[in-house]
Amino acid sequence: MLYTDGLVERRGTDIEHSVQALETLSLPADGPLDDMLDTFLTRLANGAYEDDVAILAARQRDGDE
């Protein structure tokens, strides 16, 4: 997973606190990536961001697919 700084930088909040919140998120390794990203964004800031946020999520596929 890759993300831009808009995900963790907020006025009045120490960036270390935001990064720590990001690191402690427990997300399922399976299931649709869209659902995982929605959960990710909701848990971090309830969808309220001051800056643009971009997240790239990818998963390695099994050779059988």
Q: How far apart are CA 26 and CA 57, in angstroms?
A: 15
The model's pTM: 0.70
Q: How far apart are CA 4 and CA 61, in angstroms?
A: 25
Q: Over the Cα atoms of the chain, what is R_g?
A: 13
Give the pLDDT band (50/70/90) at residue 13.
Answer: confident
pLDDT exceeds 80 at position 23 = yes
User: Over the chain, what is the mean pLDDT?
Assistant: 82
